[in-house]
A = this chain, B = another copy of it.
Amino acid sequence: MGEKNLEIVQDQTATEPNGQISHLALDIGGSLIKSVYFCRSDSSGSGDDQDHECSANGGCAKKRPAIEGSLHFAKLETSKIDQCLETIKSMKLQFNGFVHQNNTIEDNTIKDTSFIKATGGGAHKFADLFKEKLGITLEKEDEMDCLVAGANFLLKAVRQEAFTYIDGVKEFVQIDHNDLYPYLLVNIGSGVSMIKVDGDGLFERVSGTSIGGGTFWGLGNLLTKCKSFDELLELSHRGNHRVIDMLVGDIYGGMDYSKVGLPSRAIASSFGKAISEDKELDDYKPEDIARSLLRMISNNIGQISYLNALRFGLKRIFFGGFFIRGQSYTMDTISVAVNFWSKGEAKAMFLRHEGFLGAMGAFVSYDKQRLDDLLAKESLQLQVRTSPPVDTDYQSPLNGESIENETINCIIHTA
Contacts and interface: CB of A to CB of B under 8 A. Distances in A.
A259 B204 CA distance: 10
Contact of A221 (B212, B259, B275, B307): B275
Contacts of A255: 124
A253 B191 contact: no
A142 interface: yes
Nearest to A252: B121
Interface string A115-155: 00000111011110000000000000011100000000000
Contact of A223 (B207, B222, B227): B222
Interface string A239-280: 000001110101111110101100000011111111111001
A266 to B, nearest CB: 8
Interface-central residue, A217, A257, A275, by most chain B CB under 10 Å: A275
Contacts of A276: 79, 221
A274 B124 CA distance: 22
Interface residues of A, number: 74
B31 A272 contact: yes
Contacts of A227: 277
A275 B229 CA distance: 9
A205 B303 contact: no
A210 B296 contact: yes
A269 B212 contact: yes
Contact of A272 (B30, B225, B260, B277): B30
B121 A191 contact: no
A166 interface: no
A252 to B, nearest CB: 4
A211 B300 contact: yes
A219 interface: yes
A215 B271 contact: yes
A268 to B, nearest CB: 4
Contact of A268 (B214, B245, B271): B214
A145 to B, nearest CB: 9
Interface of A: 29-31, 79, 120-122, 124-127, 142-144, 189-191, 193, 205, 207, 209-215, 217-219, 221-223, 225, 227, 229, 244-246, 248, 250-255, 257, 259-260, 267-277, 280-281, 284, 289, 296, 299-300, 303-304, 307-308, 310-311, 341
